[in-house]
Structure 1
Amino acid sequence: MSNIYRVFLSLVIFCCAMQDVNGQNELWFSAPAERWFEALPIGNGMQGAMVYGGIKEEQLALTENTYYSGEVSQNIQKGASGYMPKIRKALLSNDHQTVETLSKNILGEKSNYGTNLPMANLKIGFEHGENVKGYKRSLSLNNAAVRINYNIGNVTYTREYLASNPDGVIAIRFTANKKEALNFTLELDGYERPLEVSSDGSNLFFTCKAWEKKHSDGRTGVDGHGAISVTENDGTTSYENGKLLISKASNVTVVPTMATSFMGNDSKKYISEKMALAKKKSFQQLKKSHEEDYRKLFHRMSFALGSDLQTEVPTDERVKKVAAGGTDTGLIPLMYQYARYLTIASSRENSVLPSHLQGIWNDNIACQIGWTCDMHLDVNTQMNYWLTETTNLQECATPLFSWIENTLVPSGEKTAKGVYGANGWVAHTVSNPWGFTAPGWDTGWGLHPTGGAWVASHLWDHYAFTGDVAFLRDRAYPVLKGSAEFFMDYMFLDSETGHCMTGPSYSPENKFLIDGERFALGRMPTSDLVVIRKILKTCIKSAKILGIDKEFAGRLEKYLEEMPPYQIGSKGQLQEWYFDYEEALPNHRHMTHLLGVFPYASITPEVTPEFADAAWKSVLLRKTPKENWEDTGWARSMLLLNSARLWKPEAAYENLTDMLRLLTEDNLMVIHPPTAGAQSNVYELDGNTGMCAGVTEMLFQSHLTAKDINVQKLKSAADTPILHLLPALPSEWAEGEIKGLLARGGFEVNIRWKENKNIEAKVTSKTGRPVVLRYQNQFIELDLKRGESYTWKP
């Protein structure tokens, strides 16, 4: 890299950082956190912390993304595949009770399934008074750093917290503007799990085991190791009764770092190396490398709505105002960028595992209830990563792709053979770092054979956005082909309907009624139909692009021809199953039968208006009566996403507003409220990331191509992407600007608008191919070279 380019890049990053001098990208509070949902998250894709900001006692809830209980287990029942013919016979006879009974023999065995666990609490006790003035606790999204300031008497105390990906550590700097004014202790606890602490007199070391008895036997899990290193101290350091004592200082840097033995990693060596490197750097050096690394990702995008930012009001007060019925348009861009921040903090190119249910953090609640902190494949993991392509964070999906290829697929091949006697690979409702791909251990939710295929479609999306043929050939296509091979063996020709069908399978996580009795398992739930169609079609497209597997693609075409169409039910709804069953849970939070709307776009208002109307009817029925709707962060995000894709701007805005009012905590984390096994509010990353993906769909869509638009004037080739500007813009967003969005086909897009119109859009080609821009019913066809930009004012 030339020196000129380095200077230019530094200026670009600096200018991006300076765009937020008014504090738009900042969460701030005027008091310390008293609970987890008031604390502020930091993370580097490997290690995380929730920062409370206490005055007398500070607390950092430390987490690590491979700190899991459990182990690689044999989760398939012996002889499972032998039951499939019997189950299929019962299915074809509509003997639902026998299907449910026999299907227990193909369920997975939970064994030592495990869960992610919180690792340790770092407690910092300060020896100063509590008569505090001017307290401020903030999280800068621009710099990925927490800062705390307060005054006691004539002393100003400042703390800075960051989690550095380049250096693989968390770093904290404590300063006071008076010499010898800093006196504090450092100690650790392991929640209800054992934690062994030792010291060499100037550092704390801890060891722990990821053992628990809810999701494993209490004796299986990784070993954890960590260190709390004092790297800068102008005072003294001593050790007494399990605590480090910092005395008579004014400038201290503390560096926590953590690692585990996951998959044979030498965690002690990792800790030793990271400590040695951290000691060679000042806090300012750690901060500089952290900010340069982070800004390259975060500052690719900017987003603003109007000018009423309300940044002078503490974030928790803004949340309470909205919950009480007020409006705060500026909170939407803040939450949008917060979701991108959480993604960067949770999932980086060098992360060993993808984000789990809570990202990289752990509230010590989700891991102790039935779900676990794992990789759910019936919406949650998918939603964690939907924003990575559109919001210019493509590298953050790398650990997801690697986990699918290296863990899910090899394990899924064994499950395909052992449970179904099929080729290819399969995964079901839940999975984890240990490669669990068997059906879940309950017929009510475990038999979801399209869960793995659904998450694997993210690999195709990456190709669609980048045009990276090498990625398609070497990584995406082998995974997708293996999934298609499974479904070719798994589906069967149904003599009653004349179609290729699936089963036994369920529609997450609903049930249907037969003579008043509830059943979960049946033939071809619509979610199966949508996902399998997507996998077969993308394999056909991939084979054509790569110039391979012509005969295989031809076989897939025949399967597609024999699969059933969508069905519209007696209420005008898109049926959740092939048959028009009565729903046992008509207000259920899952709406997986609408995957054809989002993300797969096989149902759109313009191409399939009849099915689009039926899908919208399904949405309305799910929310009627409104008070019975099972509201959660991710479920509300699906309502938002479906409303945007169906071009219902006011409905999308209503769902977004309800998310802010009903499901957003003080620290802007979106919750799963007490329902479905939760006794209290539980954090789920997908609520935040799903909100971000939904707002993007309101402002910009790129899932259609020229062949989908019934406009005779278009001369572009059938596969030319259409970039649809402001497709679901609500009237409340009269003015705004968003920059840095990514589109399928390899384009970057900026959009600015005023008075709900007066639009200006700039599109830049990253691949050099034709494109169609659309605003309402205006179109413009362009043929841009790689790196070329065009500004359009329709």
Structure 2
Amino acid sequence: MKIKSYILLWAVLLLGVSAAEGQDLKLWYDRPAKEWVEALPIGNGRLGAMVFGGVADDRIQFNEETLWSGGPRDYNRKGAYRYLDSIRGLLFAGKQKEAEQLAGREFLGVRSNEGARQAWIVKMKAIQQQKDNPSATAYNDRNWKMIRVPHYEGWEKEGLAELDGAVWFRTSFELPANWKNQPLELDLGSIAGQDICFVNGIQVSTQDNGALRKYRVPGSALKTGKNSIAIQVLNMAGKGGILGYKDSGKTMGIYPAGKQEAKLLLEGVWKYWVQSDKVPPEEEYQARYQPFGDIHFYSDVDTASVTQYKRVLSLEDATLTTSYKSNGTTFKRTYIASVPGQVIAVNFTADRAGAISFATAVSSPHRDFILKKIDPHTVALHVQVKDGALFGESYVRVTTKSGNITVENNRLVVSGADEATVWITAATNYRNYKDVSGQPAALCKAALQKTDQLTFASLLRDHIKEYQQYFNTLSVDFSNPAVQNRNEQLPTDQRLARFSRSGDPEFVALYLQYGRYLLISSSRPGTYPPNLQGIWNDLLSPPWGSKYTTNINAEMNYWPAELLGLSPLHSAFFRMTQEVAASGRETAGEYYRAPGWVLHHNTDLWRGTAPINASDHGIWVTGGAWFCEHLWERYLFTKNERFLRDTAYPIMKEAALFFNTFMVKDPVSGYLISTPSNSPEQGGLVAGPTMDHQIIRALFKNTIEASKILKRDAAFRKELEDKYPRIAPNKIGRYGQLQEWMQDVDDTTNKHRHVSHLWAVYPGSEINWETTPDLMKAARQSLIYRGDAATGWSLGWKINLWARFKDGDHTYKLIRMLLSPAGRGAGSYPNLFDAHPPFQIDGNFGGAAGIGEMLVQSHAGLIDILPALPDALPGGWINGIHARGGLVLDMKWENKQLTTLTIRTIADGRATLRYNGAVLPFTFKKGKRYEVAPGFKDIKEL
């Protein structure tokens, strides 16, 4: 990577802002975690772990960033470009439905193993055509096994562990004499998978996932006496079988139509036969992020004797501790995820000699994982992703001071130690998105060999030093010295519950720093960027595959990077950008016959860039252009011309090349527009969504400016300059709103979570109070119509928008909504993870960035000081917040008035400061410090 060259210089320039000057930066709890969203995260960018902090049973669920489903393959549908003009023509003719149908057939990407499952389903159903088949009344099921029905948690809980396949179920009922010739209702509740249901050999219905199974049985299918029911269930993934009802008050049964009170219950023991458990691999547009494994530490602690329990995550040094007292002995565990050691380490200590005894149990949710003893101190876990190209190895080693270590049934058992350390490594065979030839066992061994020369104390020292080079670049405190904050004395989950009611300014500062902690923990230089869940996930089928959703979420993860002093961490995102630019070149050619590169609304570890899922939202073309905005923002904040020349501009130019060809003339308005596309994720496939045009204009403007700075590509620059004013402009609609589409069709009652057409307000800058006040008012009106209530990440976006509108109190209102306990809706989980719901990490990052936007804004040609300070934060200070142009600001305010402002510079340049209407221009030199005089009338070099 060419972007690494100045990381060390950056760190040296910015070190010295001590986080310790601020408040106590800890999340803490007075009980162990019961659920995953109560556990606490640690990470080194590559390895992530969720620590539960139990006493007798302490679970660590861990991940490695490159363990995904799938494998290298071509995601592009060959020759899709042949349908582009037809899709556009249908859209221009107002035939949206027809355009979506055509695009759905011919313009989406290729799924892995496409068609294999449908062929398998046909094969499984073919048994129904046999004369003697399991649906027949007289079928001999004497040798079938028994299973309890229903099984709401899936047949996996009834002895069919991890089964996917075709399974037949049979039972019978006696028809009451007075039901003869009457149509009946067969109520089966829910069934996981597709089912085909037969009564006395006659098919009564078939249904796929989703709907409740209530089938009409014609009277002609029934007979006096015994009647058979046979159901073929085809389940491809996840829990399977006849689930019935979650509500125990509802039951499965059969009854005369409209007379549910007469229901005959069908719950009990049924017979079953597994027709096939050889399901073809899942057909996926893109891959899923995978969990790696679990480690439990079991000890014989008398839990009834435990007192003084405390679980603490320190943001200042990225250490997590669990401590408690039992029978007079104080125990402590310290957990870290180390970059220097490339291990997760857990250190066990006690204040009594020989008190450390425990057993480890290593496992994985992946089927058929393998455990084996490596040596008397080490066991290894091998996992293979189902139907995937990737496998992983994890080595777990224990070292002790005194005591004994044995291996019993692949469990490491420690007894009578003064101190013990568990060293956890993990790696996969992933080398890059085209190469899976890695040797994970060798990587694990190498990491452990490095730790052989270390004590936990020395590893901890190196870990803190490495971590703090990033974390200590910014410190913040919103406390009021005149008011004692009793909330700081509360466990974090209680503090969260109280915040939305009573307010707690220091909690806002803690949340900002927690966002920075999460970004550092999930994105180090040399790693890959955090996905929808950062690097933390415990599910084989996580929500939305825990992919990179590029129509907002992947980008939101890096909103705090430049502003909040974490610029070097942005390099992980740029690494992915270079990779999707490479694969996106092929997509640009296959779908649009265009040069350059394109990225649609999702990508994954294998860098798929083709449209996915469905044509009404998957065909969205400006993901790559939005990625380029991050490249340009890095340059604006750092003024690093080498980065612009070697990394940013080549990628930006290629993206601009694509849109230079892709945009077409709108037959109605005559403007250049983007089509086919959509306004994420609503309104369907359209011609000319506002968001696209805003992003494309920003890309053209930035590429033009970069071309001038680098003095290259004058001819191409002229093409962009000619087309820029011809792109369809922002428009104000009949309700005073900023239009989301070319047509004035916005609905003022629409409360959708996406506010895509406000991109030019934030994270863009085209719409602002300085140059486009009317559009700014229209954008604000749109957000008023859209409302405050939203999912977690959407709240993060709206917080930044209200900050850009310079309405500090409204901004703070949404911060309180984001920092409220998550129930069925948005908010934060007990560990302060963002609730979409479910967990998505982007809300944490968006919220942290929005708090920074309240304090400093530099997107509109001026550096605004405290532009959106709410009444709830009347006093405080922040050191190390960044502004575009290469400036690092330290400032303090009291009674909502700025009291001190000093500036450090990382580049030469000019800037204009503004505070309370007063403006102060100044010229600065790299590496200098400046101070603004009281009254905001002068600035001098220190």
TM-score computed with the length of structure 2 as normaliser: 0.76
Give the C-alpha shift of residue 149 in structure 1. Answer: 1.3
* Cα pair 1:381 1:455 within 8 Å, conserved: no
Give the C-alpha shift of residue 116 in structure 1. Answer: 0.9
The answer to whether structure 1 residue 317 and structure 2 residue 318 are counterparts is no
Q: Which among 927, 931, 942 is matched to residue 791 of structure 1?
A: 931
Q: Deviations over 1:82-127 (max 9, x none)?
A: 0011112222222222211221211112325211111101000012
Q: Which among 592, 596, 608 is matched to residue 436 of structure 1?
A: 608
Match of 1:225, SS? Answer: strand
CA distance in 2: counterparts of 1:733 and 1:510, whole angstroms: 36
The answer to whether structure 1 residue 418 and structure 2 residue 617 are counterparts is no
Q: What count of residue pairs does the alignment treat as equivalent?
A: 735
* Cα pair 1:99 1:504 within 8 Å, conserved: no
Task: In structure 2, give the amino acid aligned to 1:243.
Answer: R
* Cα pair 1:173 1:283 within 8 Å, conserved: yes
Match of 1:637, SS? Answer: helix
Match of 1:296, SS? Answer: helix
Task: In structure 2, give the amino acid aligned to 1:349.
Answer: P
The answer to whether structure 1 residue 289 and structure 2 residue 462 are counterparts is yes
CA distance in 2: counterparts of 1:584 and 1:206, whole angstroms: 55
Structure 1 unmatched ranges of 5 or more: 1-5, 212-218, 512-519, 674-681, 706-721
Q: How does 1:145-294 map to 2 (within 5 A)?
A: 145-191=319-365, 193-199=367-373, 200-211=375-386, 219-263=387-431, 264-294=437-467
Task: In structure 2, give the amino acid aligned to 1:272.
Answer: K
Give the C-alpha shift of residue 135 in structure 1. Answer: 0.9
The answer for the alignment partner of 1:507 in structure 2 is 679
Give the C-alpha shift of residue 34 in structure 1. Answer: 0.9
Q: CA, structure 1 residues 222+145, in 2 after alignment: closer, same or farther (shift >3 Å)?
A: same
* Cα pair 1:178 1:250 within 8 Å, conserved: yes
CA distance in 1: counterparts of 2:342 and 2:931, whole angstroms: 41
Q: Deviations over 1:204-245 (max 9, x none)?
A: 11110223xxxxxxx114111111111334211101122111
CA distance in 2: counterparts of 1:288 and 1:88, whole angstroms: 60
* Cα pair 2:749 2:785 within 8 Å, conserved: no
CA RMSD of aligned residues (A): 1.8
Which has the higher mean CA deviation after the structures are superposed, 309-318 or 270-279?
Answer: 309-318
The answer to whether structure 1 residue 392 and structure 2 residue 549 are counterparts is no
Q: Which among 646, 651, 667 is matched to residue 479 of structure 1?
A: 651
Give the C-alpha shift of residue 773 in structure 1. Answer: 1.1
Task: In structure 2, give the amino acid aligned to 1:649.
Answer: G
Q: CA, structure 1 residues 525+290, in 2 after alignment: closer, same or farther (shift >3 Å)?
A: same
Give the C-alpha shift of residue 430 in structure 1. Answer: 0.3
The answer for the alignment partner of 1:577 in structure 2 is 741
Q: Which among 514, 531, 548 is matched to residue 375 of structure 1?
A: 548
The answer to whether structure 1 residue 345 and structure 2 residue 521 are counterparts is yes
Q: How does 1:526-537 map to 2 (within 5 A)?
A: 526-537=690-701
CA distance in 2: counterparts of 1:687 and 1:15, whole angstroms: 26
Q: Which among 342, 358, 364 is matched to residue 533 of structure 2?
A: 358
Q: CA, structure 1 residues 14+753, in 2 after alignment: closer, same or farther (shift >3 Å)?
A: closer
Q: Deviations over 1:66-97 (max 9, x none)?
A: 11111122222232100011112222222222
Q: Deviations over 1:482-530 (max 9, x none)?
A: 111111111111222111111111000011xxxxxxxx01111011011
CA distance in 2: counterparts of 1:588 and 1:501, whole angstroms: 24
Give the C-alpha shift of residue 650 in structure 1. Answer: 1.4
Give the C-alpha shift of residue 589 in structure 1. Answer: 0.3
Q: CA, structure 1 residues 412+584, in 2 after alignment: closer, same or farther (shift >3 Å)?
A: farther
Q: Which among 506, 512, 524 is matched to residue 336 of structure 1?
A: 512
Give the C-alpha shift of residue 14 in structure 1. Answer: 9.1
Give the C-alpha shift of residue 668 in structure 1. Answer: 1.2
The answer for the alignment partner of 1:19 in structure 2 is 21
Give the C-alpha shift of residue 441 in structure 1. Answer: 2.6
Give the C-alpha shift of residue 183 in structure 1. Answer: 1.1
Task: In structure 1, give the amino acid aligned to 2:905.
Answer: S
Task: In structure 1, give the amino acid aligned to 2:498.
Answer: K
Match of 2:533, SS? Answer: coil
The answer to whether structure 1 residue 92 and structure 2 residue 251 are counterparts is no
* Cα pair 2:748 2:785 within 8 Å, conserved: no
Give the C-alpha shift of residue 582 in structure 1. Answer: 4.1
Task: In structure 2, give the amino acid aligned to 1:19.
Answer: E
CA distance in 2: counterparts of 1:13 and 1:86, whole angstroms: 57
CA distance in 1: counterparts of 2:618 and 2:71, whole angstroms: 20
Q: CA, structure 1 residues 17+505, in 2 after alignment: closer, same or farther (shift >3 Å)?
A: closer
CA distance in 2: counterparts of 1:88 and 1:178, whole angstroms: 76
Match of 1:224, SS? Answer: strand
Structure 2 unmatched ranges of 5 or more: 1-7, 113-283, 432-436, 822-826, 937-942
CA distance in 2: counterparts of 1:661 and 1:129, whole angstroms: 35
CA distance in 2: counterparts of 1:458 and 1:734, whole angstroms: 32
Q: Which among 840, 849, 853 is matched to residue 684 of structure 1?
A: 840
Q: Which among 739, 751, 756 is matched to residue 896 of structure 2?
A: 756
Q: How does 1:715-754 map to 2 (within 5 A)?
A: 722-754=862-894
Which has the higher mean CA deviation after the structures are superposed, 585-594 or 188-197?
Answer: 188-197
CA distance in 2: counterparts of 1:92 and 1:364, whole angstroms: 43
Q: Which among 375, 399, 404 is matched to residue 577 of structure 2?
A: 404
Match of 1:443, SS? Answer: coil
The answer to whether structure 1 residue 640 and structure 2 residue 814 are counterparts is no
Q: Which among 821, 844, 852 is matched to residue 696 of structure 1?
A: 852
CA distance in 2: counterparts of 1:528 and 1:585, whole angstroms: 23
CA distance in 2: counterparts of 1:289 and 1:167, whole angstroms: 9
Q: CA, structure 1 residues 284+509, in 2 after alignment: closer, same or farther (shift >3 Å)?
A: same
Which has the higher mean CA deviation after the structures are superposed, 391-400 or 779-788?
Answer: 779-788
Q: CA, structure 1 residues 657+17, in 2 after alignment: closer, same or farther (shift >3 Å)?
A: closer
Which has the higher mean CA deviation after the structures are superposed, 531-540 or 561-570?
Answer: 561-570
Match of 1:311, SS? Answer: helix
* Cα pair 1:109 1:441 within 8 Å, conserved: no
* Cα pair 1:76 1:109 within 8 Å, conserved: yes
CA distance in 1: counterparts of 2:714 and 2:836, whole angstroms: 46
CA distance in 2: counterparts of 1:391 and 1:486, whole angstroms: 32
TM-score computed with the length of structure 1 as normaliser: 0.90
The answer to whether structure 1 residue 494 and structure 2 residue 669 are counterparts is no
Match of 1:683, SS? Answer: coil
The answer to whether structure 1 residue 106 and structure 2 residue 107 are counterparts is yes
The structure having more radius of gyration, on CA atoms, is 2
Task: In structure 1, give the amino acid aligned to 2:512.
Answer: Y
Name the structure with the higher strand share. 2
Task: In structure 2, give the amino acid aligned to 1:267.
Answer: P
Give the C-alpha shift of residue 585 in structure 1. Answer: 8.0
Q: Deviations over 1:143-162 (max 9, x none)?
A: 10001111111211011111
* Cα pair 2:891 2:898 within 8 Å, conserved: no
Give the C-alpha shift of residue 600 in structure 1. Answer: 1.1
Q: CA, structure 1 residues 653+83, in 2 after alignment: closer, same or farther (shift >3 Å)?
A: same
